[in-house]
Amino acid sequence: MHLLLIEDDTEASKYLAKGLRESGYTVDVAADGRDGLFQATEEPYDLIIADRQLPHIDGLTVVQMLRKQANKVPVLILSALGSVDDRIEGLRAGGDDYLTKPFAFGELLARIEALLRRGQGTATATRLKVGDLEIDLLGRVVVRAGRRIELTTKEFQLLEFLARRQGQVVTRTMLLEGVWDLHFDPQTNVIDVHMSRLRNAVDRDFPRPLIHTVRGAGYVLRDES
């Protein structure tokens, strides 16, 4: 996977690029908006990570210009501006996701993965399958190893969100955004409580767990057999 990182903070950029390479990505780096836009137009990247405040051309303009050229490459905007309005502005400009600095590296990785895998098939699916777990999206029925599992509406939505991203790390913020459409940082462990309930329902009575906690990042739904 070939990524372009547009970031003027050389120090941060160096570490980010290194971390991404260690996670298995090929990374090109641009230090300002003009170079970034040029590189993005020349090379077919799989994903662009753009800082919002950049010299010459700012990150939002870069995205807007790419979209005008009908370039649909997924763009993740990084920004020190974290208010609700800033976020909405970023997404309106054509960004696909918005991450406020500072962020945990795990959060960035999870979001990159989610963006890269987006649009890979599950959008129109009516049934999802993870190991012996089957989810009927139309009938809202969950069956594991032939046994029906009763879930509340929210638990079902959580499971669906995880199942559509099976094998990917999903962070707490991604869950809060994706399932509840809320964009703030809870001060308490609300998401963990919901996840432990879901775990109780899905994993407790079965020998092999499907929901796994990823330390320092979030959760992943995966059949590890």
Dist. CA 225–CA 208, nearest whole Å: 8
- Please identify, using beta-carbon distances, which residue of 19 and 131 lies nearer to other proteins: 19
- Please identify, using beta-carbon distances, which residue of 23 and 71 lies nearer to other proteins: 23
Q: Binder to other proteins among 70, 84, 123, 138 (CB under 8 A)?
A: 84
- Minimum distance from CB of 26 to other proteins (Å)? 18
**Window 111-170: residues binding other proteins (CB under 8 A):** 154
Q: Binder to other proteins among 127, 129, 186, 205 (CB under 8 A)?
A: 186
Per CB under 8 A, 190 contacts other proteins: yes
DSSP of 76-133, one letter per residue?
EEEES--SHHHHHHHHHTT-SEEEESS--HHHHHHHHHHHHHTTSSGGG-SEEEETTE
Dist. CA 173–CA 17, nearest whole Å: 23
* Residues linked to residue 211 through DSSP beta bridges, in sequence order: 221
- Give the CA distances from residue 225 to residues 63, 118, 131, 167, 208, in Å, rounded to whole numbers and listed in that order: 41, 25, 8, 13, 8
- Minimum distance from CB of 22 to other proteins (Å)? 6
Q: Binder to other proteins among 26, 69, 72, 88 (CB under 8 A)?
A: 88
Q: Binder to other proteins among 180, 209, 214, 217 (CB under 8 A)?
A: 180
* Nearest C-alpha neighbor of 32 from the set 17, 52, 3, 2: 52
- Minimum distance from CB of 222 to other proteins (Å)? 22
Dist. CA 211–CA 162, nearest whole Å: 9
Count, residues in the chain: 225
3-state SS record for 10-24: HHHHHHHHHHHHHCC
* Nearest C-alpha neighbor of 113 from the set 15, 212, 25: 25
Question: How big is the site for other proteins, counted in residues (CB under 8 A)?
Answer: 36
**Window 191-210: residues binding other proteins (CB under 8 A):** 193-194, 197
Per CB under 8 A, 214 contacts other proteins: no
Q: Binder to other proteins among 73, 81, 137, 217 (CB under 8 A)?
A: 81
Distance from the Cα of residue 65 to its chain's centroid: 23
- The span of 39-47, 132-140, 164-172, 180-188 binding other proteins (CB under 8 A) equals 180-188
Per CB under 8 A, 12 contacts other proteins: yes
Residues that bind other proteins (CB under 8 A): 9, 11-12, 15-16, 18-19, 22, 53, 80-85, 88, 100-105, 154, 180, 182-190, 193-194, 197
